[in-house]
Structure 1
Amino acid sequence: MDPQPQPNPNSPAKTTEPQPQRFGIRARLLALLLPGIVALLALDSWNDYKALTDSLVVAYDQSLLEPVQALANGIVVASDGSVRVQEPFSIQAMFESTHLRYKYLHVGVQRIPKGETLDVNSPETTLMGVPGLPRPAQQPPDGTPVFYDAVHEQHPVRVAALRQTVYDNVHPGVAYSVLIQAAEGTGPRTEAQAESLRQELLRDTRMVLVMALLVWLGVAWTLRPLERLRSSLRERSRDDLTPLDASGVPQEVAPLVDAVNHHIAGHRRMVAEQSQFLADASHQLRTPLSILSIQAGYAVRETDPARMRESLHAIVGQLARTRRLSEQLLALAHATTEDEVAPAEPTVVDLNAIAREVVLQYLPLARENDQDLGWVDARGDSAAERIATAGDDGEDTDGTDEAGDEDDSPVLPVAANAAELHEVLANLVHNAIKYTPRGGNITVTVRREASYALAEVCDSGPGIAPERRDSVFERFHRDPSVAAVATQGAGLGLTIARSYARRNGGEIELGNADTPESPNGGGLRAILRLPLRAF
């Protein structure tokens, strides 16, 4: 079996670009508005159609009722006892004047025997019109017209019927039931109703189309400033970081443009800082490299071995300073370019233990400079005495007490990166050693203050004037008032320390040490303040 190819870990990871949404603003608005508008128009059109249909039915029924009532008014009983219709031809001519198809009149009479009621199945005599028109399903009351749909000669018709009773004055007790009917085909009604529905649908369709067109044009008009912004961005060069012109942008989109401008400003500031960093780093590295070149040339030309070794020692010392400068430049780049967002679950470290390690690390350097580097443990004097013993023996007990018991619980727990906190305190202690004269005192104190953990580095050096304390955190800043150390270092220690402190949620504050060795408010107190983490 052939081995499966393994992915190359050094190959760049494929990034998935976000896919544009399938539906734009126009489609979303139409999808949101059209169903509601169509439903409202359909309901309104149905109500209008029903109302108009009812009106048409009433109108057509009224036109059918007029000849029926005219015929009813002309029904009389002659002297011979027969029932007759007065002027039937004029009424029929009026009824048929519209030249509509399937129009019928019928007048039928049934005799009611004396003392009896009407038998609907009794023989009927047709006085006028066509016989055989469908009768109403139920016997209507006298004088009350009824309307109903029926089929006559295989054609649908609408029928108006009126029944009335007339009495024979010559033969008392004899009565006649007269049924008067007028019918016409339902074609005109159906066509009128269909035309009404067609007009409703056409009107609603026009309204929906006009609404959709207005939405489309309105969105296009509203998004025109965004199209202008897109065009201007495409025409820009890569190094153009000027803010976007938000004039004419819709109010709802203005926050987005402001956010983009904020991002552009941050990117412009980052590019400027990187350019300045590269320029400053090049300038700072050029000087020691020039010195190394001169010293190396002098050593090459020197024939005296003693002087050659002196030149080599000078080169080694200059290389050490250049190496520290390079390390500080790398640390500064790391502290200022990495994301400032804390991890989701930061590591809980002990500020007291980290500060103790830093003091142990710099204790030999302080003794070499004849300086007293003291330590005040957060647990009290008894714990602080152990660091002096560890320093004298040249060993680090790593938190182990004299009995050899381990105490792993942190004294001052903080959520931070241990290596970065170590770098912060190392820079503060190194600066104190560098600026404190021989025979001076440096004290590192770790303590708790409310909900904060504090690490203080106090020295008996010249201190920093209050008006210059903000400027010392700038890159490559060195105190020109201290001539002995003005040419030492690159002025990056406090810059790196503050960058790391802020990235871990802390801050560095500067103040007067006010120690007995620094009268009149001399000395410097550098305080690292971090929020305590519940453990």
Structure 2
Amino acid sequence: MVWVTQKPRGSIRFWLLALLIPGIITLLLIDSWNDYDALKAVTEEVYDSALLEPAKVLETSVEFNPDGTLRIDPPFYAQVMLESRAGNRKYFRVEEVTPLALSLAGSPARQIKGNTLLGMHGLPRPEALADNEGMPIFYNAMYRNDEVRMVALWRDLHYEGVHRQVIVLVGESIDMRLRTQQEAWRLGLFRDGRMLILAVLLVWFSVEWALRPLSELRREIKARAVDNLMPLDADQVPHEVVPLVKAVNHHIDLYRRVLDKQAQFLADASHQLRTPLAIMRTQAQYAKREPDIGRMRETLGAIIGQLGRTSRLTEQLLSLAHASRNDMAPQARVDLNALAREVVLQYLPLARERHQDLGWVDDGGDADTQEDSQEAWVLGSDAEIHESIANLVHNAINHAGEGCTITVSAGIAQDTAWVSVCDNGVGLDPSLRESVFMRFDRGGSARKGMRGGGSGLGLAIALAYAERNRGTIVLKDGDPSAGGGVGLCATLKLPRYTA
């Protein structure tokens, strides 16, 4: 099963606020809860310390009578500490353990029996006493339907061989603690609420301020005229948006180049078609006025020849327009060997008409890089690659000259498959080999003078189709010519396909 992850849609503002505000709220809630826990611990510690103080005073107030019995003389300030007030009820008890236990350390307090020396009866004891004498044990319990916080401690007393054991219990209701904690909690919530509102407003205004350059960029783009293809100003946007602006500028530049190419193509096409149409118009007018049937036929023959050249030019212009598109060529397995042989058979009649020797060489024309004679598979468009090879062969027939030899071969070299069209004709000066790929460039006076000189679109079309299929065309010296020079060799190179 393939899981498709869709990118979140919506405005940047929405997603920033949707992610930041809940995060801030969560952090504030966690912080408030931690503050509440810390405050509760501090409150418990303070109140427990206040509860332990009268218990210590009562513990130290237990004394022996001369007859060995115990008495309690609590000081006045202890009585004041043990007085109950509104919302803070105090409970205490001091009892003597009878009979004596071997040790009260860690003893189960609820099983110990004792006599009350001072205080209230029935105060709840803890589960167990402390392990050391004088160490307090704090616990919660219920007394007279009142939830109380208790502290318990024990002590061994010795006097002239007499041993006594006492347990001191002091408690208070938890109402005051709860009110203190609740009041602190309400104040904390109020403070955190204010902080939350301020944080949300700060995030809101920060997001608005940070996204203002994007809004201005959007307004600038919407306010532009249709024909305004100037690049956007990348200095007026945040650094994080600069790559996006540069990408948009790159797309604008590509679009401007496409429009420039289209405008240039239309200008060149209109210029190239205007001349033959004007010639044919003149010839037709001449034929219309010519009373001599022989001359009229001669003029009509010239018109037919001009129509053929104009038809070829129109086909080439349409092919160039198709080859100059930016979309990808359809992908299929193509054998360059078979395709090149097919082109040779297609152009044999035209080559014989020009008294040229057009042939196919099975062992290839690039012996220093060829691996062996085998199928040269590439991935691309069969029709477009065929058109590219056909234009190379047609260009050689047009410009090599009568009586020359044109050799077509194909092969593979490492990761490249190639087709070469080599001739021993007039050749081409190395300084002109780059410019001949431009539209309507015929490659100098020597080639312009050849029969069927052409329109200068063949190599431009061949290169355009090659580039649409991820290839290129390279021009180099061809075979030795009869005049002592060298011809021209055009090689179409495409990425080799391996299954």
Same fold (TM over 0.5): yes
**Cα distance change, pair 180–488 in 1 and its aligned pair in 2 (3 A):** closer
1:418 positional shift = 3.1
Q: Distance in 1 between matches of 2:117 and 2:93?
A: 7
Residue 489 (structure 2) pairs with residue 525 (structure 1): yes
The correspondence for 1:301, drawn from 285, 289, 292, is 289
Q: Distance in 1 between matches of 2:60 and 2:326?
A: 106
- The corresponding residue for 1:393 is none
Per-residue displacement from partner, 1:52-87 (whole Å, max 9, x unpaired)?
433332322222222232233333344566643335
Residue 432 (structure 2) pairs with residue 464 (structure 1): no
- The corresponding residue for 1:246 is 234
- The corresponding residue for 1:493 is 458
Q: Distance in 1 between matches of 2:129 and 2:393?
A: 118
Amino acid in structure 1 at the alignment position of 2:456 = G
**Matched-pair contact (CA < 8 Å) for 2:399–2:453:** no
Per-residue displacement from partner, 1:116-152 (whole Å, max 9, x unpaired)?
x999546x3554x444433445466764444332323
Amino acid in structure 2 at the alignment position of 1:498 = L
Q: How many pairs are equivalent?
A: 477
- The corresponding residue for 1:391 is none
Amino acid in structure 2 at the alignment position of 1:413 = W
Q: Distance in 2 between matches of 1:217 and 1:166?
A: 72
SS of structure 2 residue aligned to 1:320: helix
Q: Distance in 1 between matches of 2:453 and 2:158?
A: 140
**Matched-pair contact (CA < 8 Å) for 2:409–2:421:** no
The correspondence for 1:484, drawn from 441, 446, 449, is 449
1:479 positional shift = 4.0
The correspondence for 2:267, drawn from 264, 279, 282, is 279
SS of structure 2 residue aligned to 1:533: coil
**Cα distance change, pair 430–120 in 1 and its aligned pair in 2 (3 A):** closer
Residue 121 (structure 2) pairs with residue 134 (structure 1): no
Q: Distance in 2 between matches of 1:366 and 1:132?
A: 128
- The corresponding residue for 1:331 is 319
Q: Distance in 2 between matches of 1:179 and 1:366?
A: 127
Amino acid in structure 1 at the alignment position of 2:123 = L
Q: Distance in 2 between matches of 1:533 and 1:513?
A: 27
1:270 positional shift = 0.3
1:475 positional shift = 0.8
Q: Distance in 1 between matches of 2:325 and 2:410?
A: 31
Root-mean-square deviation (CA, aligned residues, Å) is 3.7
Q: Distance in 2 between matches of 1:151 and 1:238?
A: 84
**Matched-pair contact (CA < 8 Å) for 1:511–1:524:** yes
Q: Distance in 1 between matches of 2:97 and 2:350?
A: 140
- The corresponding residue for 1:151 is 142
- The corresponding residue for 1:53 is 40
SS of structure 1 residue aligned to 2:478: coil
Q: Distance in 2 between matches of 1:362 and 1:142?
A: 119
**Matched-pair contact (CA < 8 Å) for 2:472–2:494:** yes
The correspondence for 1:372, drawn from 339, 349, 356, is 356
Q: More deviation in 150-159 or 483-492?
A: 483-492
**Cα distance change, pair 316–191 in 1 and its aligned pair in 2 (3 A):** same
- The corresponding residue for 2:224 is 236
Q: More deviation in 355-364 or 213-222?
A: 213-222
1:277 positional shift = 0.6
Per-residue displacement from partner, 1:143-162 (whole Å, max 9, x unpaired)?
44443323233211223344
Per-residue displacement from partner, 1:455-499 (whole Å, max 9, x unpaired)?
333334332211122111111123451363499432211111111
Residue 395 (structure 2) pairs with residue 431 (structure 1): yes
Matches of residues 200-211 of structure 1 in structure 2 within 5 Å? 201=189, 211=199
Amino acid in structure 1 at the alignment position of 2:338 = A
The correspondence for 1:443, drawn from 400, 406, 415, is 406
Residue 477 (structure 2) pairs with residue 503 (structure 1): no
Q: Distance in 1 between matches of 2:269 and 2:468?
A: 22
**Matched-pair contact (CA < 8 Å) for 1:147–1:160:** yes
Q: Distance in 1 between matches of 2:126 and 2:449?
A: 128
1:449 positional shift = 5.2
Q: Distance in 2 between matches of 1:380 and 1:21?
A: 56
1:347 positional shift = 2.6
Per-residue displacement from partner, 1:186-234 (whole Å, max 9, x unpaired)?
1111223334444555555555555555544444333332222211111
The correspondence for 1:413, drawn from 369, 374, 377, is 377
Q: Distance in 2 between matches of 1:454 and 1:377?
A: 13
Q: Distance in 2 between matches of 1:491 and 1:286?
A: 16
Q: Distance in 1 between matches of 2:170 and 2:260?
A: 99
Q: Distance in 2 between matches of 1:411 and 1:125?
A: 114
SS of structure 1 residue aligned to 2:482: coil
Q: Distance in 2 between matches of 1:219 and 1:518?
A: 78
Q: Distance in 1 between matches of 2:54 and 2:400?
A: 127
- The corresponding residue for 2:348 is 363
Per-residue displacement from partner, 1:160-187 (whole Å, max 9, x unpaired)?
3444455677xx85x6655443322111
Residue 347 (structure 2) pairs with residue 347 (structure 1): no
The correspondence for 2:251, drawn from 234, 256, 263, is 263
Q: Distance in 1 between matches of 2:478 and 2:9?
A: 65
Amino acid in structure 2 at the alignment position of 1:348 = V
Q: More deviation in 409-418 or 457-466?
A: 409-418
Per-residue displacement from partner, 1:82-122 (whole Å, max 9, x unpaired)?
64333555531343387653123444557769x9x999546
SS of structure 2 residue aligned to 1:223: helix
- The corresponding residue for 2:57 is 70
Q: Distance in 2 between matches of 1:461 and 1:261?
A: 47
TM-score normalized by the length of structure 1: 0.77
Amino acid in structure 2 at the alignment position of 1:420 = E
Q: Distance in 1 between matches of 2:341 and 2:64?
A: 135
1:46 positional shift = 4.9
Q: Distance in 1 between matches of 2:480 and 2:97?
A: 137
**Matched-pair contact (CA < 8 Å) for 2:99–2:113:** no
SS of structure 2 residue aligned to 1:490: coil
**Matched-pair contact (CA < 8 Å) for 2:129–2:153:** no
1:44 positional shift = 5.8
- The corresponding residue for 1:398 is none
Q: Distance in 2 between matches of 1:359 and 1:508?
A: 18
**Cα distance change, pair 283–434 in 1 and its aligned pair in 2 (3 A):** same
**Matched-pair contact (CA < 8 Å) for 1:77–1:84:** yes
Structure 2, unmatched stretches of 5+, are: 1-5, 366-372
Per-residue displacement from partner, 1:290-313 (whole Å, max 9, x unpaired)?
112222222222333223222222
1:441 positional shift = 0.9
